[in-house]
Amino acid sequence: MRSTFAAVYQGRRSATALVEGLALAIDRDTLAHSCRMRANAIALAGAVGIADAHLLAAIAAGALLHDIGKLALPQILLQKPGPLAPHEFEAVKRHAVLGAQLLVEIRTPDVLVGIVRHHHENWDGTGYPDGLAETAIPLGARVLAIIDCYDALTSDRPYRRALPCDRAVEMIELRAGTMYDPAIVRAFLSVQPVLAAVADDLAARKEPAA
């Protein structure tokens, strides 16, 4: 069945604008996060050796849409300045399923639905929502999981300041084989200096003029 998002797979600007508009509907900070995610996920996918055009397009779209399920969550949870209570965290975790369900409703291709649904699965099977492990986790979701973590750690959040890039890299490297695919972590380490340069550039733009 042809997807309403089929244009994404053909690189049409109108479809990209639609996807970005959906990301913006969550909030402007999430759009910035998602746009960084898209550039960095494409870079990591290249380092991994992914060459299939449809999968690359799905990874790019998934980077923008991975948090779309947060549209259904109360903003007070998403902007909470302190740690989430256990029941609040369980509510926030639902965004992966809610996002996937939304994409199914608008007839998005299965590969993209899988990336959105499974980008919080862990290599050792301890993630959510389905407890998938190792290569049962879609490849695109395994790529996105690392980039999502890297961007989250190196960005300011309501509950903490951004971490230095080198500290974020250390944390991801330590999680290889538990949270993340070890092979993709190795690819991440090879491409991370490029991602760090992008982060430094974004940070410099935030500095007030002298």
Per-residue pLDDT at 186: 97
Per-residue pLDDT at 78: 77
Per-residue pLDDT at 199: 53
Residues in Cβ contact with 52 at an 8 Å cutoff, skipping those fewer than 6 apart: none
Mean pLDDT by 10 residues, the chain (210 residues): 42 50 57 77 95 94 88 80 85 93 88 96 98 98 96 79 90 97 97 72 47
Delineate the domains of the chain, giving CATH numbers in brackets: 28-202 (1.10.3210.10)
Single out the residue of 91, 37, 41 nearest to residue 202, CA to CA: 37
Is the pTM value of this prediction over 0.85?
no
As a whole number of Å, the CA-based R_g of the chain is 16
Single out the residue of 66, 172, 55, 158 nearest to residue 119, CA to CA: 66
Residues in Cβ contact with 13 at an 8 Å cutoff, skipping those fewer than 6 apart: none
177 φ/ψ sector (left φ>0, alpha ψ -120 to 50, else beta): left
Cα–Cα dist 204/201, whole Å: 5
Per-residue pLDDT at 13: 46
Q: What tokens appear for 210 in the block? A: 């002298």
Per-residue pLDDT at 18: 55
